[in-house]
């Protein structure tokens, strides 16, 4: 089988889809990916409109129609298989995935999380960073493993917390960084420069000992 020249993706969303939009925009600007489908667990969300506007296939798999997590995840995995993605992108997909699902896509699934992991796994990350009096916050891209928001970290971006910040303002600045780091990591994978091998992140032939950080010039550094 010949390798497709564009990396086939499926993007999972639950809401606004601004990270999806960043990937769509980069793909239009030459990022070698083919977004084969956008799947949402919620009907009627803005991210589905964004996908349709870009001519991408959309599917809604509403979790409310399933009796439990396992049956939902099984249906989701079967749906994804229809599109044969080499990479599954969780772009604001607000559901916990069961181990069976994760094992099926191990090493082929990325998540973006709005905090400097391992800080603030889970929800309300911006408010929690403010409540803790942190001086900086940010976002992380990581491979997905069974541990919630706990898989191997790839790239992070920091955002300074300002005295007049609230969760909404802070979230906006973090989101702007998300839109840079997520397509950047996808690009490395599309270029064959990044893998998860035996549980380790390998970038340009070297195991990462710690996550890379986006710098002010946009170039990642250890
Ligand atoms: C983003 O901030 C993303 O990091 C977060 O949801 C938002 C989705 O925004 N994801 C999580 O919290 C996952 N635990 P978007 O729909 O505009 O891309």
pLDDT in tens, 72-88: 999 999 999 999 999 99
> Which pLDDT band, with edges at 50, 70 and 90, does 219 fall under?
confident
Distance (Å, rounded) from C-alpha 49 to C-alpha 10? 16
What is the percentage of the chain residues whose pLDDT exceeds 70?
97
Distance 114 CA to ligand 1 centre (A): 7
**Mean pLDDT score of the chain, rounded to an integer?**
96
Distance 197 CA to ligand 1 centre (A): 26
Q: Is 113 in the pocket of ligand 1 (CB under 6 A)?
A: yes
Q: What average pLDDT does this structure show over 106-124?
A: 97
**Are 118 and 106 spatial neighbours (Cβ–Cβ below 8 Å)?**
no
Gap between the terminal Cα atoms of the chain: 36
**Are 106 and 88 spatial neighbours (Cβ–Cβ below 8 Å)?**
no
Distance (Å, rounded) from C-alpha 157 to C-alpha 136? 10
Q: What average pLDDT does this structure show over 107-131?
A: 98
Judge if the upstream peptide bond of residue 118 is cis by omega within 30 degrees of 0. yes
pLDDT in tens, 170-185: 999 999 999 999 999 9
Distance (Å, rounded) from C-alpha 111 to C-alpha 100? 17
Distance (Å, rounded) from C-alpha 213 to C-alpha 78? 35
pLDDT in tens, 6-42: 999 999 999 999 999 999 999 999 999 999 999 999 9
Distance (Å, rounded) from C-alpha 216 to C-alpha 157? 10
Distance 80 CA to ligand 1 centre (A): 20
Q: Per-residue pLDDT for 1 more than 70? A: no
- Best probe residue, ligand 1, of 42, 49, 114, 173 (max atoms within 8 Å of C-beta): 114
What is the percentage of the chain residues whose pLDDT exceeds 90?
94
**Are 142 and 113 spatial neighbours (Cβ–Cβ below 8 Å)?**
yes
Q: What H or E segment, with its residue span, contains residue 47? A: helix 46-53
Q: Per-residue pLDDT for 216 more than 90? A: no
Distance (Å, rounded) from C-alpha 183 to C-alpha 130? 27
Q: Is 92 in the pocket of ligand 1 (CB under 6 A)?
A: yes
Give the pair of three-digit tokens for residue 59. 């599917």
**pLDDT at residue 218 in the model:** 72
CATH of 115-222, one of 3.40.120.10, 3.90.1310.10, 3.40.50.280, 3.40.50.170: 3.40.50.170
**pLDDT at residue 215 in the model:** 82
- Best probe residue, ligand 1, of 41, 89, 92 (max atoms within 8 Å of C-beta): 92
pLDDT in tens, 42-68: 999 999 999 999 999 999 999 999 999
Helix (H, G, I), strand (E, B) or coil at 120: coil
| Atom from ligand 1 closest to the CA of residue 175 | 2
CA-nearest residue for atom 7, ligand 1, is 92
Pinpoint the residues of the chain covered by CATH 3.40.50.170. Answer: 1-105, 115-222
**pLDDT at residue 2 in the model:** 59
**Domain at 1-105: CATH code:** 3.40.50.170
């Amino acid at each position: 089988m010949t390798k497709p020249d564009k990396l086939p993706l499926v993007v999972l969303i639950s809401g606004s889809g601004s990270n999806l939009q960043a990937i769509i925009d980069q793909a239009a600007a030459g990022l070698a990916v083919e977004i084969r489908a956008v799947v949402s667990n919620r009907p009627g969300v803005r991210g589905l409109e964004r996908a349709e506007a870009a001519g991408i296939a959309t599917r809604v798999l509403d979790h409310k129609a399933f009796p439990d997590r396992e049956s939902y995840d099984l249906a989701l995995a079967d749906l994804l298989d229809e599109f044969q993605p080499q990479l599954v992108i969780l772009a604001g997909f607000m559901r916990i995935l069961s181990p069976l699902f994760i094992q099926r896509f191990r090493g082929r699934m990325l998540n973006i999380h709005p905090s400097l992991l391992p800080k603030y796994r889970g929800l309300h990350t911006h408010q929690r960073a403010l409540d803790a009096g942190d001086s900086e916050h940010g976002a992380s891209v990581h491979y997905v493993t069974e541990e919630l928001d706990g898989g191997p970290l790839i790239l992070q971006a920091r955002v300074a917390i300002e005295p007049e910040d609230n969760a909404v303002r802070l979230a906006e600045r973090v989101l702007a960084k998300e839109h840079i780091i997520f397509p950047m990591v996808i690009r490395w994978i599309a270029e064959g420069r990044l893998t998860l091998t035996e549980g380790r992140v390998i970038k340009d032939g070297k195991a990462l000992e710690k996550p890379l950080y986006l710098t002010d010039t946009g170039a990642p550094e250890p």
